[in-house]
């Protein structure tokens, strides 16, 4: 799983995660979440998470929930059922930049007062970069390289930049 506001910076991101999943036999590969609600080693960040569906999408493991922490109960029940976890520090090691709160920014920008998260968006709309100190600089470097390679962001220019490699 990859949040829509993640930018993959390294070409080996997926292959590294799959290799770790395969070599360790883990059912979940991700980066331990660093936040005020969970202890270290308690919850993998959902923004960038690889899971083995054969190990994780089965009874009695709880599915994702519509919640502020949609994978928490899934991860807790998977670990209770013996599913192992391997850490890959996606954002810390520069595989991915996670902006964070992009949906909340859109809700606020659109002034969508019918959205149940509108009030929360008023005070939680700035990017949090998964609390990675180096992430804003990595993101700025990505944007500069993108602008240099693509220029005006049209579909044609983007496709041409991809083909140039």
Task: Name residues whose C-beta falls within 8 Å of residue 18's C-beta, 6 or more positions apart in sequence.
Answer: 50
pLDDT-above-90 percentage for the chain: 84
pLDDT confidence of residue 86: 97
Global pTM value: 0.85
pLDDT confidence of residue 17: 98
Q: Is the pLDDT of residue 135 over 80?
A: yes
Average the pLDDT over 46-75 and give the result. Answer: 93
- Nearest partner of 86 among 18, 2, 24, judged by Cα: 24
Q: Is the pLDDT of residue 68 over 90?
A: no
Beta-strand ranges (E) seen in 69-165 are: 85-87, 96-98
pLDDT confidence of residue 69: 83
Q: Is the pLDDT of residue 164 over 70?
A: yes
pLDDT tens digits, one per residue of 73-127? 999 999 999 999 999 999 999 999 999 999 899 999 999 999 998 999 999 999 9
Q: How far, in Å, CA of 122 to CA of 117, rounded?
A: 9
Q: Residue 77: which region, alpha, beta or left (left: phi > 0; alpha: psi -120 to 50)?
A: alpha
pLDDT-above-70 percentage for the chain: 96
Q: How far, in Å, CA of 124 to CA of 102, rounded?
A: 10
- 12, two tokens: 């080996």
């Amino acid at each position: 799983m990859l949040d829509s506001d993640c930018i993959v910076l390294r070409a080996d991101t997926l292959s590294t995660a799959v290799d770790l999943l395969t070599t360790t036999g883990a059912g979940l590969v991700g980066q331990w979440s660093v936040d005020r609600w969970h202890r270290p080693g308690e919850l993998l960040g959902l923004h960038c998470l690889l899971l083995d569906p054969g190990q994780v999408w089965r009874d009695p493991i709880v599915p994702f929930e519509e919640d502020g922490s949609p994978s928490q109960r899934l991860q807790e029940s998977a670990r209770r059922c013996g599913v192992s976890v391997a850490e890959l520090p996606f954002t810390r090691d520069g595989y991915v930049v996670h902006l964070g709160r992009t949906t909340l920014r859109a809700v606020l920008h659109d002034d969508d007062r019918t959205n149940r998260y509108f009030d929360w968006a008023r005070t939680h709309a700035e990017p949090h970069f998964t609390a990675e100190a180096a992430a804003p600089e990595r993101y700025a470097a990505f944007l500069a390289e993108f602008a240099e390679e693509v220029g005006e962001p049209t579909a044609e220019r983007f496709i041409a930049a991809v083909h140039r490699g």
